[in-house]
Chains A and B, each alone.
Chain A
């Protein structure tokens, strides 16, 4: 039902709004990954690594193989990010707290350093991406935005449902336990390392899909996608949204994009100031994120219908 609403609603959106919504979907997927990491008490300051990897995987498909199908691109993004995270996960799954954040930061800066100096991939300028196709058909210019938006909606909803299910599996429920007391988790016979590894790979796959989606939407990719400020942006969205529900990152990303666009429009020199102030206010007054407002209201409603 949500999907139908999104798809029909999307038809009436102006082009620029379609763009914002699609980008919000892309960022929400990354934030969704960060959210499940955050449930385990882990904050990755390098999620841009997988975002950028997904984008470049999608871009490379178009540049070297001439494939521009949206779904193939997203798959490629997911695969690239997933494989990288599986390998790096053996290393990162041991780390907690500040060291997890710093190591993931270092890894994403490594990718940045590599891309900046890589001439075939366009160095600091990056490169453009072919206009997307959908199952071999090429939608007309008026429809490209909508086609991308629709595929983004379908994929995001699907992934959100999968994550929603996952959070209710024993492995998914282990994450908050790791945050609370990892040693007890180990005493109960569960492997915290294994759980963190799985969570890390899932988060990376989500970020890879998000990156591929952002690449096709914007039509251009560059190494800044791996810079640490990009990771900061995702963390901002995640903290803004909170970890209450899989819907939260989507709402958070949309709000973020709207704030970002309007603030940038109104005063290009102070939008970071408003973002920083918003982040501070949320950390201090709403440590569970905006979603805690929604869940508070729904419990109140349940008590006094």
Chain B
């Protein structure tokens, strides 16, 4: 059960990362910042909402709005302002650029929200709890699972059953030919980056009630999402789901039976997968380019 909740949370966070890599071939360290931004925005907006005395049941909507706001304001700024000039550079160099942006955003967060922790426990406690096998679980956790399912299934549907999604698949396969066919590739890049960041911000916003929101939130999530995405295969949606499930289950098993190896085991799985299937479990064969 713990495993499911943890997997759901990881999946939401990692989904955007794998989407951005799949479409734009960017290993996006900034993803961690969006997670943290989402958490902070969620915490402060919901805090204000509750303080103003509005119905607490709607605070979930406020969390959603906070995440959307973050993604719509910050993501295009970064993509249009900086990243689009960098697409010609090497994958590893782009990784460094997103790392630089990550450092900058980390401090921007500190400047806006200060270094003190934020707590908003109301939405967490509001729904009560339910029992599984004699153990009580907060019902709020089901929202996390629901969020993961909705974003996963929604993204799959978007990609495979809509016109926009099909065009996006074309862009993934060959940006150059897609451009020749009259697709505005840059617009798709912008949309992808914004949507991927939105997923990170959503994961952050909905995690905010369960933890205390402190600086350094993004630092941890980013390596974990890397582990998830790498295990499943960079740029593969079912891969991210599988990776999240593997990491979630492995972690909760180790927490229950052998807590000393909790952190170790996640990265050990990541290293093992990289060692035997460098492109991840769900990777497709890729032509060698000379």
Chain A residues within 8 Å of B, Cβ to Cβ: 43, 91, 94-95, 97-99, 101-103, 105-107, 109-110, 112-114, 116-118, 183, 228-229, 232, 235, 239, 269-273, 275-277, 279-280, 283-284, 287
Contact = CB atoms under 8 A, between A and B. Distances in A.
A117 B264 contact: yes
B107 A270 contact: yes
Contacts of B176: none
Given A113-B267, A116-B263, A106 B227 contact: yes
Contacts of A102: 27, 226, 230, 274
Interface stretch (B6-14, B50-58, B92-100, B157-165): B92-100
Contact of B104 (A99, A105, A235, A277): A277
Given A113-B266, A275-B103, A97 B96 contact: no
Q: Which of A91, A95, A106, A275 has the most CB of B within 10 A?
A: A106
Contact of A280 (B101, B107, B110, B271): B101
A98 B93 CA distance: 10
28 contacts: A43-B92, A95-B274, A97-B90, A99-B278, A102-B226, A102-B274, A103-B274, A103-B275, A109-B270, A110-B271, A113-B268, A117-B259, A232-B99, A232-B103, A269-B107, A270-B111, A272-B103, A272-B104, A272-B106, A273-B106, A276-B100, A276-B102, A276-B103, A276-B104, A276-B107, A277-B100, A277-B104, A280-B82
Given A99-B274, A117-B262, A106 B100 contact: no
Contact of A106 (B96, B234, B271): B271
Given A106-B267, A271-B107, A183 B96 contact: no
A259 to B, nearest CB: 13
Contacts of A183: 290
Q: Determine the interface band of chain B, counting residues with CB < 8 A from chain A.
A: 35 or more
Contacts of A118: 260
Contact of B96 (A99, A114, A272, A283): A283
A138 B287 CA distance: 62
Contacts of A269: 107, 110-111, 115
B126 interface: no
A239 to B, nearest CB: 7
B219 A110 contact: no
Interface in B68-93: 82, 85, 90-93
Q: Which of A102, A116, A232, A275 has the most CB of B within 10 A?
A: A102
Contacts of A113: 261-268
Contacts of B103: 232, 272-273, 275-276, 279
A117 B267 contact: no
Given A91-B275, A106-B274, A114-B264, A98 B219 contact: no
B108 interface: yes
Contacts of A110: 264, 267-268, 271
B108 A273 contact: yes
